[in-house]
Structure formats: structure tokens, C-alpha cells
Structure 1
Amino acid sequence: MADSNHLRIGFFGTSDFALETLTALYEHPIDIKFVVSQNPKPSGRGQKVNFSPVYKFAKFHNLNTFTPENINNLEFINKIKNFEIDFLIIVAYGKIINERILKLPKFFSLNIHASILPKWRGAAPIQRSILNGDNETGISIIVVEPKLDSGPIVLSKKIKINRNDNTGFLHKKLSTLGSKLILEAISNISKNNYTLIKQDEAKSSYAKKISKTETKISWTDSAQSIHRMVRAFTPWPGAWTFWKKEEKKIRFKILESEIIEKFNENSMCLNIGQSDRNLIVKCKKNYLKLKKIQLEGKKVISGDEFINGFKLKNYDFD
């Protein structure tokens, strides 16, 4: 990448999605002046303090690393201002960034967004695209403006969403694509070889954050709708249902499924294929094969293991 060794970069990011880009920047002759990640928070039963993937990478490679409680603090802003950066790269940081920070770089503050903007602005573009039944998604590199995901587009590239792609798969695929496009974007901008494309507000849509309340499966929905839920909520937070065993209700997640259009069934909700021991559930329209499931607090098992382990006969899901 021509002249990239002269570029001074500041980086804001927190998650695995952001780490892919930081790694790509680090592996190129680019001067990463500082890295900002969200401050660590205690989590889990032991309330252990966990640092973000971005923070761990930056510290391991001896990069200037900050985890400010308040990124709008004037002392912090002045500190990173002294680095005199050419670009600020923002990827899955998780907080709104002050306009004073966005104006620090010589060129632009750039964001990697996992959709083809202006469609699916917001926190959950991958999940919403799957739930909506979209056939394609992609990456947009945009100039960051105060309004959420509304800045002009520097680069974008589409990819196909296949019938069984889930969020985990697309997350990895898009993070890799984003890391490549950001390198192309900063190279083009630094050589004044770019065009900014204004977003069409009339075509914008919002990808609101996923709520756990919307992840419970209703078997009165179509198999297609439930299959999309399974794909959208895998690996997190998981599309879930109850297995009714006698007087008990046992909660479990469905991690992989397959739509079955024809199945020899009776009036029961739960149907077990006798020949190949498939776990197949009747839905409002068509049927759903449950290929991988996880009972609460247990390991992931196949539908066949579920049938054999619990000697299923006529139990229902709810």
C-alpha cells in the first residue's frame, strides 16, 4: 500500500469484530499511535475483570492503550490530540464518540459498518438482515458524523447471504472483509483518489439492538421464520424454547436447524423420524429439523443425541 508507512492512525474498538481490523492495520507498515477500548467490567459468577480483545492485543504489542471511563474528558481528548493522527478508525467501540474527537485527524474519522448503508443503521445489522430474509449484506466504510451511521460512504462491498448462514459465520466473514476495505480506503484517501457518496435518507432503516425477549420461539410461526431466528441468534443469545416433559418445562436453545417441506406426520407438535432418528417439529407452515441444541447449563448436542438421551416419544415444545 503506497505511502502507508507514513500514515498515523488512532483506533477506537472493543470487540472481536474490531480486533480483526486492528490486527490488519498492525500487520501493515502503518504507525498506530494509540488504541482506545472500553474500560474492563467485572462479569460472571466471580465478577472477574475481563479486558476486551482489542485491549489485550494492543497491550501485548506495546501500543499506547487507553480505557477511559469518560471519553469526553478534556484531559483525555488533549492527550490523544498530541499524537497528530491522519485517520481515526472506529470499529465496534460501543460508545458515542464526541465530535471534538472526530475532528482530530488530518483526513477523516472512519467507521466500518456491517451492512450496505443506508440499510440497517444501528447496533445489530447482521442479525436484522438475517431476520428480514435479506439475500445480501456487506461492509460500508463511512466518514463518521454525529448522527448514527449517517455519514458519506467511502467504500462498500456486498456479499451473499446463503440459506443457512448464521450471525457467527457472517460476523467472521464481514470482519475480514472490513479489515481489507479499511486499508484500501485510507490508501485511496491519502492519495486523494476517492469519492464520498451521500446516503439516501429515504432508503434508511434501523437495526435496533437485539432484546432477549424477542428470542423465544413461537411454534405457531412458519418454519422459515423460526429458521431465520435460529440463524440470527446463533451464537448469541440463542433462539430458545421449552421442552415440556410431564409436569416440567426444560428450556433449551436451538443452534442449528433445517427447513423440511414434506414430512409424514400426525397431529402432534413433536415428530421423530423413525429411520434416521431426526428431531423434526411441526410449525405453522412446513417443518423444522433441529440439528444442534443445548439444554440450559449443558453442552451442545445433536437432535439424535437428544432423542436417544431422553427417550423421546410424544413430548411437546412450547
Structure 2
Amino acid sequence: MRVVYAGTPEFAVPALEALLQTSHEVVAVYTQPDRPAGRGRRLRPGPVKQKALEYGLPVEQPATLRDDAALERLRALAPDLMVVAAYGLILPREVLPIPRLGCVNLHASLLPRWRGAAPIQRALLAGDRETGITLMRMAEGLDTGDMLRKTRCPIGAEDTAGTLHDTLARQGAELLVSALDDLAAGRLGGEPQDPQQVTYAEKLHKAEAVLDWQLAAAALDRRIRAFNPWPVAQTRWRGEPLRLWMSTVAPQAHADAPPGTVVAEGPEGIDVATGDGVLRVTRLQLPGGRPLTAREFLNGRSLQGERLGDES
């Protein structure tokens, strides 16, 4: 097949690399325009563009796919299939019929659960026990198309958005390769999504990362892991922001202290009272510093008895 690949961030790199190892031809890579980054705000290409250039692939970076010039350029490529993974631009309906075999998308959830922008983080926040990748045929609407194939991934007690991202990116690459020949032969039938099972994964906002110690320890632990590596959960300590990277629910069931109070500390972690249970913080970071283990953080300082949060 002549394949057009569309993706932008690191998540989409493994699938592109896997596609390039098959007998199918990648005739172009579509990716978002370069964005300003770093202190100098210089334009920086995304990970997919960088990988495409490594392989000498033609790169297209239209700001939109809605104008006639972009549509004509895509038609001129005469693709059999368009594969999309975290592209970041919505494909207008005019694009969908251009490839002979249509457009397919690798989505990081078990559809119809968690349609939308942040499926990995929302699965963690909700306490889901598993997630996965769905290969779907693209249709009008947000992640509404028929499901072609799925792969499942358990969510472990120590998984973060970062670890799941990497696992699902690899699984997505494997899933795509396993489906390509069936797609080429027209053997892959689609399963409609059950509208009764639909949930939406809204985009993350930095404000969500500020912890409310009135919540239960289990909920706070999920938030810390869901916001690692971005935007990173935070609270306040002695008037300064304190970023929390990793945690677990402490063995003790409760603490006789107001939520946010540090009730114990040691090499294994810093125990904080919550609205229900005790949260053990195991990795944290002060402004201008690097993330530290609890043992490193407590070297020369103590939080025992102090209260974290807006009241501190």
C-alpha cells in the first residue's frame, strides 16, 4: 500500500518506525507545524518530523487540512491508506474518502471509553484497572468510528501517565503492523461503538494538578501518577510550590491530624494525612531543584508536623 502517516508527538514515533519496517511504502508524513520552544522560543520540529527527516521521508506541515491547496496535495499523493496517531489536527470530512482504503487512527484507550484528548491520564484518574489501544476507522466526530482491532494493557499500582504512554506507544506500533495486511486485503471488518459506554477524556489543565488534601489518599495517589510527567502534581510548603512526582497509599488507615499534615517521615517516604487515609510521598521536587527521593529530600530538613497546602 501507499501509506500517508500523520502524527506529531513522541507517542506516534514507534508506529511510524514499525510501518517503515514493513513492505508498505510511506509516501508522506503529515505533522503539525514547528512550534516555538526553549528559552529562545526558536521553532522546533516535533518528534515525528525529526524521525521522518532521519529516514528521508517527504514531510507535509499544513496549518489546516480544510483548504483546497492542502486537499489537492493529499489527493496528488494517491494514498491507499492514511494512518493517524496523535496528529493533533482534526481531519475534515473531505479528507476521509481520499485514501482508497480510508483513514485509520491509533487511539490510546479501549473505545468507546475515553474518547478525546487525554485518555491515558483520565484512565489513571478514574482508577481504571486496564487501558489499551484501539485501531479505529476514522469518521466524522471525535473518535466515533468503527473499531477494527484492540490490544489491552493492565494499569499497575506504580504506573504513571509516562510509563503507560511508553507502553501504549509500543503496543500501538505492534497493533498497526498486525493489521496492515488485513487492511490491504479488505479483511478487517469494523465493530460499531456502543453509545451507552461512551466517556470523554477532556484535555488536561494545569489547575487540576494542585492537590486538595481533603480528597482520599487513593484519589490523590492517582492524581500524582496521572500528572507525571505533565503538568506534575503540586502543593505548597512554607509558601513555596512543592512538586510531587510519585506516591503510594500508606499502610495506616487514618491519622488524627488535619488533611495536609505530615504525620510521619523516613527513608521510605513522607506520610501526609488526607481526607481519607494517609498518602506516602516518595519522590518530590522544590523550585529550581531536581526531583528527589524522600531519603534525599529529608537529608538536612524535616517536614514532621507541618501542613502542606494553601494554609501552610
Normalised by the length of structure 2, the TM-score is 0.94
* 2:293 corresponds to 1:302: yes
Counterpart in the other structure of 1:211 = 205
CA distances 1:230-263 after superposition (whole Å, capped 9, x unpaired): 11110111111001x2xxx110211110111317
Which of the numbers 229, 234, 244 marks the counterpart of 1:240?
234
Question: Which runs of 5 or more structure 2 residues have no equivalent in the other structure?
Answer: none
Q: Aligned runs of 1:77-226 on 2, under 5 Å?
A: 77-226=71-220
Cα pair 1:34 1:80 within 8 Å, conserved: no
Aligned partner of residue 19 in structure 2, secondary structure: helix
Counterpart in the other structure of 1:272 = 264
CA 1:49 to 1:309, structure 2 compared with 1: closer, same or farther past 3 Å? Answer: farther
One-letter amino acid matched to 1:270: V
Counterpart in the other structure of 1:35 = 29
Counterpart in the other structure of 2:241 = 251
Aligned partner of residue 128 in structure 1, secondary structure: helix
Cα pair 2:284 2:292 within 8 Å, conserved: yes
CA distances 1:86-127 after superposition (whole Å, capped 9, x unpaired): 110011011111222221111120000011111110001111
CA 1:263 to 1:225, structure 2 compared with 1: closer, same or farther past 3 Å? Answer: closer
CA 1:141 to 1:264, structure 2 compared with 1: closer, same or farther past 3 Å? Answer: closer
Cα pair 2:64 2:89 within 8 Å, conserved: no
Alpha-carbon separation, structure 2, partners of 1:277 and 1:59: 45
One-letter amino acid matched to 2:217: A
Aligned residues: 307
Alpha-carbon separation, structure 2, partners of 1:181 and 1:273: 44
Aligned partner of residue 100 in structure 1, secondary structure: coil
Name whichever of 157-166 and 83-92 sits farther off: 157-166
Cα pair 1:277 1:307 within 8 Å, conserved: no
Question: Which runs of 5 or more structure 1 residues have no equivalent in the other structure?
Answer: 1-6
One-letter amino acid matched to 1:64: P
Cα pair 2:268 2:282 within 8 Å, conserved: no
Alpha-carbon separation, structure 1, partners of 2:21 and 2:162: 24
CA 1:277 to 1:87, structure 2 compared with 1: closer, same or farther past 3 Å? Answer: closer
CA distances 1:139-182 after superposition (whole Å, capped 9, x unpaired): 10001111110000110122211122111111111111111111
- Following superposition, the deviation at residue 304 of structure 1 comes to 1.9
Counterpart in the other structure of 2:251 = 261
Aligned partner of residue 135 in structure 2, secondary structure: strand
Aligned partner of residue 180 in structure 2, secondary structure: helix
Alpha-carbon separation, structure 1, partners of 2:110 and 2:149: 10
- Following superposition, the deviation at residue 309 of structure 1 comes to 3.5
Alpha-carbon separation, structure 2, partners of 1:123 and 1:277: 35
Aligned partner of residue 243 in structure 2, secondary structure: strand
Aligned partner of residue 50 in structure 2, secondary structure: helix
Alpha-carbon separation, structure 2, partners of 1:161 and 1:314: 34
- Following superposition, the deviation at residue 191 of structure 1 comes to 2.0
Counterpart in the other structure of 1:314 = 305
Identity score, percent = 29
* 2:16 corresponds to 1:16: no
Alpha-carbon separation, structure 2, partners of 1:298 and 1:230: 18
Counterpart in the other structure of 2:58 = 64
